[in-house]
């Protein structure tokens, strides 16, 4: 019984191209109490592999987090299968704003300790006791309230290329870092301010909303379905779009354009740019923002050093990497010291200070 992906990304890409079928990219999550995540994991893999589903899915005792693509003509069969699982019946599916047949090239279903790493060890914290979900229209009204503090629950490299107007964008590399920072900065306003949060698809701010309720915040809200669902509702209901720039996504597309605004800059020359790339030097692979001019000049690399290494024959590159771990820069995601125009966000709650 095959329970793991055996095809390489290149082999899968060729199959997708030869199939000639349009694929849908979508995501969903659900917090739930799952007794045996491994059994559910194996069941999902076997069923979804047969439907030609590709993507990255995490299962844990606290629920499921899925980002995936599948042939459009198998969507109904996929939805029917979800409805056979009690806690996934009629679940909202976030259809991607921009589609790409190659958004995912492998099916990975993994059992994790948690579907969103939070660093918390508090048995009294109930992740299902969440804040109030609000749709796009109500969200737009709520964030105009002078008693509202709007917080972006994503990481710095996500908010750098796109965020809501007047949102607080904590300077963090991980979700777990943001929880203590936000609580500390807003500790004197647990009762008199509306704490409104958003993220890509809703999963992070849903956990955060439950956490901040647990910590004593009285008026906690989250944008239902995150930026993805907000964009759909804005278009469908002809609402004002209050999001600026692109929505960062964790697949090969890297981002979806939500507005025409370019709010970021090339990390190498400073020109307006919001295109994330990975350094072509496999020993580096740094994620950073690069314009077309710098891409051409540096051969898709983040520095002249990486450019020189990447120009070497493959076997020489491989020999240089032997016994070496990835550079720590790979984890800096656009904040490596050698990038002269990296953005220094800092954690300043200016929105709150002005109110």
Of 111, 142, 159, which residue sits at a domain end? Answer: 111
- Say if residue 333's pLDDT is above 90: no
Contact, 248 vs 162, CB < 8 A? Answer: yes
Could you tell me if 147 and 193 lie in one domain? yes
Could you tell me if 164 and 212 lie in one domain? yes
Q: Is residue 103 within a helix (H) or strand (E), and if so which, with residue range? A: none
- Say if residue 200's pLDDT is above 50: yes
* CATH code assigned at 46: 3.30.70.100
Residues designated catalytic = 199
Which pLDDT value is given to residue 171? 87
Domain that holds residue 59: 9-111
Q: How far apart are CA 309 and CA 58, in angstroms?
A: 35
Q: Which of 245-259, 287-301, 324-338 has the lowest mean pLDDT?
A: 324-338
Could you tell me if 98 and 163 lie in one domain? no
Look at the chain and report how many structural domains it folds into.
3
Could you tell me if 235 and 142 lie in one domain? yes
Q: Is residue 295 within a helix (H) or strand (E), and if so which, with residue range? A: helix 292-297
The answer to whether position 82 is within a domain reads yes
Could you tell me if 46 and 137 lie in one domain? no
Contact, 308 vs 334, CB < 8 A? Answer: no
Confidence grade of residue 352 (pLDDT, cut at 50, 70, 90):
very low
Residue scoring higher pLDDT (244 or 116): 244
Confidence grade of residue 346 (pLDDT, cut at 50, 70, 90):
very low
Could you tell me if 234 and 136 lie in one domain? yes
The answer to whether position 259 is within a domain reads no
Confidence grade of residue 326 (pLDDT, cut at 50, 70, 90):
low
Mean predicted confidence (pLDDT) in 320-345: 72
Q: How far apart are CA 349 and CA 171, in angstroms?
A: 11
Strand ranges inside the chain, DSSP E: 23-31, 54-60, 63-71, 94-95, 107-111, 132-134, 148-152, 162-164, 194-198, 220-223, 243-248, 255-257, 276-278, 287-289
Task: Look up residue 345 and give its two tokens.
Answer: 């966000």
Q: How far apart are CA 52 and CA 71, in angstroms?
A: 7
Mean predicted confidence (pLDDT) in 69-76: 97
Residue 245 φ/ψ region, left for φ over 0, alpha for ψ in the -120 to 50 degree band, beta for the rest: left
Which pLDDT value is given to residue 355? 45
Token match 């679940």: residue? 91
Torsion of CA 337, 339, 341, 347, to 10 degrees: -40
Could you tell me if 160 and 80 lie in one domain? no
Taking each helix axis from N to C end, the angle separating 75-83 and 37-50, rounded to the nearest 10 degrees, works out to 160
Contact, 322 vs 331, CB < 8 A? Answer: no
How many whole angstroms from its chain centre is CA 118? 15
Could you tell me if 141 and 200 lie in one domain? yes
Q: How far apart are CA 114 and CA 206, in angstroms?
A: 14
- Say if residue 123's pLDDT is above 80: no
Contact, 312 vs 281, CB < 8 A? Answer: no
Could you tell me if 232 and 298 lie in one domain? no
How many whole angstroms from its chain centre is CA 231? 15
The answer to whether position 343 is within a domain reads no
- Say if residue 66's pLDDT is above 70: yes
Q: Is residue 45 within a helix (H) or strand (E), and if so which, with residue range? A: helix 37-50
The answer to whether position 120 is within a domain reads no
Mean predicted confidence (pLDDT) in 181-203: 93
Q: How far apart are CA 344 and CA 158, in angstroms?
A: 13
Q: How far apart are CA 64 and CA 346, in angstroms?
A: 32
The answer to whether position 266 is within a domain reads no
| Distance, first Cα to last Cα, the chain | 60
Could you tell me if 181 and 231 lie in one domain? yes
The answer to whether position 157 is within a domain reads yes
Q: Which of 34-43, 120-129, 230-239 has the lowest mean pLDDT?
A: 120-129
Percentages (nearest 5) of helix, strand, coil residues in the chain: 35, 20, 45
The answer to whether position 122 is within a domain reads no
Mean predicted confidence (pLDDT) in 45-61: 96
Q: How many residues does this entry show for the chain?
A: 355
Which pLDDT value is given to residue 324? 67
* CATH code assigned at 162: 3.40.250.10
Which pLDDT value is given to residue 5? 80
The answer to whether position 256 is within a domain reads no
Could you tell me if 97 and 148 lie in one domain? no
Confidence grade of residue 348 (pLDDT, cut at 50, 70, 90):
very low
> Which one-letter DSSP state was computed for residue 250?
S
Could you tell me if 136 and 234 lie in one domain? yes
Confidence grade of residue 282 (pLDDT, cut at 50, 70, 90):
confident
């Amino acid at each position: 019984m095959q329970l793991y992906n055996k095809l390489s990304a290149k082999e899968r890409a060729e199959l997708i191209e030869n199939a000639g079928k349009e694929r849908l990219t979508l995501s969903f999550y659900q917090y739930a109490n799952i007794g045996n995540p491994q059994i559910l994991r194996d069941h999902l893999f076997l069923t979804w592999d047969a439907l030609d589903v590709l993507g990255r899915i995490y299962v844990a005792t606290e629920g499921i987090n899925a980002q995936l693509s599948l042939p459009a003509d198998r969507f109904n069969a996929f939805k029917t299968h979800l409805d056979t699982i009690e806690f996934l019946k009629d679940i909202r599916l976030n259809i991607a704003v921009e589609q790409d047949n190659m958004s995912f090239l492998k099916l990975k279903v993994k059992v994790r300790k948690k579907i969103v790493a939070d660093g918390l060890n508090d048995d009294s914290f109930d992740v299902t006791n969440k804040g109030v979900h609000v749709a796009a229209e109500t969200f737009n009204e709520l964030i105009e309230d002078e008693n509202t503090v709007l917080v972006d629950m994503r990481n710095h490299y996500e908010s750098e290329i796109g965020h809501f107007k007047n949102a607080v964008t904590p300077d963090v590399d991980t979700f777990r870092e943001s929880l203590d920072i936000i609580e500390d900065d807003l500790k004197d306003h647990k009762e008199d301010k509306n704490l409104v949060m958003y993220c890509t698809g809703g999963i992070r701010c849903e956990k955060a909303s439950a956490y901040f309720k647990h910590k004593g915040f009285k008026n906690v809200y989250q944008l239902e379905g995150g930026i993805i669902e907000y964009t759909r509702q804005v278009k469908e209901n002809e609402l004002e779009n209050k999001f600026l720039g692109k929505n960062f996504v964790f697949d090969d597309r890297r981002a979806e354009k939500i507005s025409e605004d370019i709010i970021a800059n090339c990390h190498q020359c400073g020109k307006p740019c919001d295109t994330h790339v990975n350094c072509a030097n496999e020993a580096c692979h740094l994620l950073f923002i690069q314009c077309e001019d710098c891409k051409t000049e540096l051969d898709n690399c983040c520095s002249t050093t990486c450019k020189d290494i990447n120009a070497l024959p493959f076997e020489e590159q491989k020999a240089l990497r032997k016994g070496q771990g990835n550079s720590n820069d790979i984890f800096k995601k656009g904040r490596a010291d050698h990038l002269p125009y990296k953005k220094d966000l800092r954690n300043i709650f200016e929105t709150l200070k002005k109110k």
